[in-house]
Structure 1
Amino acid sequence: MIKALVFDFDGLILDTETAIYKATQEIYKEYGAELPISIWANLAGTQDDGFDLTTHLAEQSGVTIDKEALLKDQRQRINAYIERETILPGVLPLLEMGKQLGLKIALATSSGNQWAKRHLKRLGIIDFFEAIIEADDVEKVKPDPELFTKAVEALQVKPDEAIAFEDSYHGMIAAKRAGLYCVVVPNEVTQSLDFSQADRQLKSLADITAEELIQAFSEKE
């Protein structure tokens, strides 16, 4: 029986993935370079990607890059984009119905440094979450399953009693490795990725209710 919901944050609750891509692409264009969305999509949902922004931009532009200045510029642009973002469709109704049904709710995010918590407070939804597991709480982030494993442990439920909600390939893999059901809702950045291992793929969380999900996954048991 489904007893818990575990949400990703970036790209799932708030479309930070698209905002980060657009902000970074702006910088590339100013250097006369391009950052293909196909490359950026594979970086979504993890920090363990081996991608170095400074090196890649220098290779694409042929210009020597000041790493500290680049990252500062990127952070400022990203923050400007994200502060304009609002909670994605379907998220709030799912949280509200989940609480009404007595489900436990957690967040499992590869971001750290209180990033998700700050935005959850800004959006007014942090109190829905009984547990928030961030990059700082684990040794390895997604696609490693540790974030999800710790989330269900914190909620005191079994992995197969929880549904994970993800937007990225790395997140989907992490959820499935941890033994959770996984519903994927791709965004503009991740929509071209292979989500065939997901238990369900949606265009929006507004397309389904908590009751429908509980019934669908209960039938699989």
Structure 2
Amino acid sequence: MKPTLIFDMDGVLVDNTPVQARAFQLLFRDLGLTTNARQLLRRLNGMPAGDIIQSVFRHSIPQKQLDIYAEQREFLYRTLYWSKRRALPGLVAFLKSARAEGFNIGLGTGSGGPTLSYILDHLDLRQYFDVIIGKDDVPNGKPHPDTYSLTAAKLGAKPESCIVFEDALLGEQAAYRAGMRCVAVATTLPGKAFQAPLAVIKDFTELTPARLLELLAQQPEAPRPQKRRV
């Protein structure tokens, strides 16, 4: 049986994390906060925006207010990224090749519906995914396993047959918590920052479905998640 491939979106399908960080930084500036957004995302990238924003405050922020802040950040991000949207090099060719080889392909992201459309529909990528799971489909975002577990369930795949593509440490841990293996996409973090990926790639020109099967055979079981990383 061919493995199932599950992709994160931000930082994996597109190299947009620096723009995400810039949007957070502008929001923090408006709120009078001095937090370094780029450093913050090195730790918390993959979480829903509201959870990331809450982490900056020492006191609890009402959910309604967090939603407003998240919407402001989303507006800033879309404005900054509008003319820069493009798929990671080699992505479309890899997806087409994987599809031709009989792989099931899903998307599991912490982004919501409008943000999904902003990337997937603009770049015409939705056609390559059999299942798409976003933040509104699960009770708990990454590093909880819900996103990837539900994606696999919708695809009818067992966790041990799934390979997750992630650019974030919390996303890698979510994959391991779901009993899956992971390929690290080093768009934002160096490969050495990840725990135990099957491989580290800069983009999809560095990987083929055949090579993925070879790597899978070298790591027969999913690594155990590390508590210190979440």
TM-score by length of 1: 0.82
How many angstroms does 1:25 deviate by? 2.7
Q: Does 1:208 align with 2:210?
A: no
Q: Taking every aligned residue pair, what percent have the same amino acid on both sides?
A: 25
Per-residue Cα deviation, 1:161-197 (whole angstroms, up to 9, x for no partner): 1211000001000111111110011223x34873023
The one-letter code matched in structure 2 to 1:196 is Q
Q: 1:106 to 1:192 in 2, by over 3 A?
A: closer
Between 1:109-118 and 1:165-174, the stretch displaced more is: 109-118
How many angstroms does 1:128 deviate by? 0.7
Higher relative contact order (CA 8 A, sep 6+): 1
The equivalent residue for 1:112 is 112
Partners of 2:35 and 2:140 lie apart in 1 by 30
Between 1:167-176 and 1:177-186, the stretch displaced more is: 177-186
The equivalent residue for 1:156 is 156
Q: 1:23 to 1:192 in 2, by over 3 A?
A: farther
TM-score by length of 2: 0.79
Between 1:126-135 and 1:8-17, the stretch displaced more is: 8-17
Q: Could you say what the CA RMSD is over the residues aligned between the two structures, in angstroms?
A: 2.8
Q: Rg larger in 1 or in 2?
A: 1
Per-residue Cα deviation, 1:115-138 (whole angstroms, up to 9, x for no partner): 224421110110111100111111
Conserved? CA contact 1:89–1:205, under 8 Å: yes
Per-residue Cα deviation, 1:49-78 (whole angstroms, up to 9, x for no partner): 46438848xxxxxxxxx9898656533321
Per-residue Cα deviation, 1:84-140 (whole angstroms, up to 9, x for no partner): 221111211211111110111000011123422442111011011110011111111
Which runs of 5 or more residues in structure 2 are unaligned? 59-64, 221-230
Partners of 1:132 and 1:125 lie apart in 2 by 11
Q: Residues 1-221 of structure 1 correspond to what in structure 2 (within 5 A)?
A: 1-26=1-26, 33=34, 35=36, 37-47=38-48, 49=51, 51-52=53-54, 55=57, 73-83=72-82, 84-188=84-188, 190-191=189-190, 194-221=193-220
Between 1:2-11 and 1:99-108, the stretch displaced more is: 2-11
Partners of 2:78 and 2:105 lie apart in 1 by 27
Partners of 1:117 and 1:72 lie apart in 2 by 15
Per-residue Cα deviation, 1:140-170 (whole angstroms, up to 9, x for no partner): 1111111111111111121111211000001
Aligned residues: 211
